[in-house]
Structure 1
Amino acid sequence: MSKHEQLATYLQNNRSKVSGVVDFDPGTDRLLQFDFTSNNTRLSGEDIADTLKFSAWVSQELRQSGCRYGIGGYMEHRTLYARSKLFDTGGAEPRRLHLGTDIWADASTPVYAPLAGHVHSFQDNNSFGDYGPTIILEHHLDGLLLYTLYGHLNRASLQDLSIGQVITQGQQLAQFGNITENGNWPPHLHFQLMFDMEGLAGDYPGVAPYSQTEHWRQNIADPNLILQFTAATII
C-alpha cells in the first residue's frame, strides 16, 4: 500500500480524529472556486503584480459570490507566479506548479490544527511572493508520518511557539496574515501535506516546475483528504 493509500485509509477510518482547518459550515457556507491558470482572462498580469489590486480583486469576487472562502490550487499550473522572481529557477523552466491548496478569506481568519501532533518547525519566510510566517506540524498516524504546512500567516502566529510543542486536534494554531506580513499576497492560507520534509525546516517548496508534476506527487498528498470539501459546497 502506498503512503497516499495509507493516508486515505487512516483518515477514512478515523474521521473523529480529524477537524476542520478553518471555520467552515457545509450546511451554510459555500466555497468559490478560483482558477489562476492561463484560463483566467479576467485578471491581468498587471493586476496580479500589484498586491493591492490583486487583493481587491479576490475580495470583490468573494463578496459578489456571497462566499466567505475561496478554494483552489492543488497541482494547478499557475501563471500568476510570474509576479515574483522567487519562482524563477535560472533555467529554462520557471516554477509554476502549485503543490498545496489555497483557502482565500479575510486577514485574521482563524486556522486550526486538523490533527493532533507537534510543532516540527516554523519561520518567517519574509520575501516578496514567499510564504511569510509559516508553521509546519508533524503527525504520527498509526505508523504513517505526515507533515502539514500552513503558509501566509500573520506574525503573531509565530509568537510563543517552540519546536516539539504539542498541538491538539482542533486547537487554534494561527491566523491568516494581511498583505504587509504574508509574503505580499491577498489574504489566504496555503495548506500542504508532505510525507517527507527532506531535511528542511520552517519551509518546503509550495511551487515547482510543471514538468516535475509526477515527481512531486510522490511526496505531496491531496489536502482535500483532510479538508473534505465536496463538489456540493463549491461554486
Structure 2
Amino acid sequence: MSSKDQLLTYLKAYPNAVGKVVDYTPGTDKLYSFDFTASNAELGIDVISDSGKFSAWVCDKLNSGYYKYGIGGYMEHRTIYARSTHFDTSDEPRRLHLGIDIWGNTGTPVYSPLDGVIHSFQDNDSFGDYGPTIILLHNLDGLALYSLYGHLSRENLDGLTLGQKISKNQQIATFGNVNENGNWPPHLHFQLMFDMEGKAGDYPGVAKFSEKEMWLKNIPDPNLILRF
C-alpha cells in the first residue's frame, strides 16, 4: 500500500483525529480562491515584485467580499515566483507550488491539526523564502506524516525544542508580517510530506513544473487535512 493510500485509510478510519490548522467555520466563513497562474492579467511584475503593492492587492481581494481567507494553489503552476531569484535555477525556474496557501491577516493563529512532535524549525530568511518555519512529525498508525508551516512570526520560534510534544488543535504559531515572513503578504504555507529526505527546518515548497509527477508521490493534497 502506498503512503497516500495509508493516509486515506487512516483518515477514513479516524475522521475525528483531525483538528484545525486555522479557525474556520464551514458555511459561515467565506473563502476567496486566488489564481496565481499566467492567466491572471492583474498580477504584472510591477505588482508581484513590490511587497507593498502585492499586499495591498491581496487585501483588496479579501475585503471585496468579506472573505475570511484567500486560498491558493496545491500543484498550481504560478507566475508570482518571478518576483525573486530564490526560485531561479540554471535550466528551469521553479514555478510549481507544492502546498496550499491561506492568505489572511498578520497575527492569524495557526494550529496543529494532529497530535505530533516538533521535527525541526528554522528562519529561512531570504527574499521570497519561507521566513520562520516549523515542521511537525505525526505518527498515524505507523505512517510518518510531516506538516510544514511557513511564513510565520519570528517570535514563534522562541522556546521551541526538537521532539517537543504538540497536541491536536494546539496553537503553534501566527501569520508573520511582510518584514519577517520572507517579504510576502501575510499568509500561511501549509504542506504535507511523507519523507523529509534528510532535511530539517526547510523543505521545497516550490519545484520545477517538469517534475510534478515526482513530487506528487511525496506530497499529498493538504486539503485532506484542511477540509476547506
TM-score (norm. length: structure 2): 0.99
**Superposition deviation, residue 72 in structure 1:** 1.2
CA offsets, 1:114-169, max 9 Å, x none? Answer: 00000000000000000000000000000110000000000111011000000001
Q: How many residues align?
A: 228
Question: What RMSD over aligned residues (CA atoms) do the two structures have, in Å?
Answer: 0.7
Which ranges of structure 1 fall in alignment gaps of 5 or more residues? 230-235
- Give the structure 2 partner of residue 84 of structure 1: 84
**Superposition deviation, residue 27 in structure 1:** 2.8
2:199 is the counterpart of 1:200: yes
Which ranges of structure 2 fall in alignment gaps of 5 or more residues? none
* SS at structure 1 position matched to 2:42: coil
Q: After the TM superposition, which parts of structure 1 deviate over 2 Å for at least 4 consecutive aligned residues? A: none
Distance 1:9 1:202 in 2: 28
**Superposition deviation, residue 35 in structure 1:** 0.5
**Superposition deviation, residue 190 in structure 1:** 0.2
2:65 is the counterpart of 1:65: yes
- Give the structure 1 partner of residue 210 of structure 2: 211
**Superposition deviation, residue 46 in structure 1:** 0.7
Once the two structures are superposed, the pairs formed by residues 55-134 of structure 1 within 5 Å of their partners are 55-91=55-91, 93-134=92-133
Amino acid at match of 2:164: Q
- Give the structure 2 partner of residue 37 of structure 1: 37
Distance 1:65 1:42 in 2: 18
**Superposition deviation, residue 7 in structure 1:** 0.6
Distance 2:4 2:179 in 1: 36
Distance 2:142 2:19 in 1: 20
**Superposition deviation, residue 68 in structure 1:** 1.1
**Superposition deviation, residue 97 in structure 1:** 0.3
- Give the structure 1 partner of residue 3 of structure 2: 3
- Give the structure 2 partner of residue 18 of structure 1: 18
Deviates more, 1:135-144 or 1:38-47: 38-47
* SS at structure 1 position matched to 2:95: strand
Distance 1:158 1:228 in 2: 27
* SS at structure 1 position matched to 2:201: coil
- Give the structure 2 partner of residue 233 of structure 1: none
* SS at structure 1 position matched to 2:35: coil
- Give the structure 2 partner of residue 157 of structure 1: 156
Q: Among the aligned pairs, what percent are the same residue?
A: 64
Distance 2:156 2:12 in 1: 30
Distance 1:64 1:218 in 2: 37
Deviates more, 1:176-185 or 1:24-33: 24-33
2:56 is the counterpart of 1:51: no
Distance 1:89 1:137 in 2: 28
**Superposition deviation, residue 12 in structure 1:** 2.1
Distance 2:14 2:169 in 1: 14
TM-score (norm. length: structure 1): 0.96
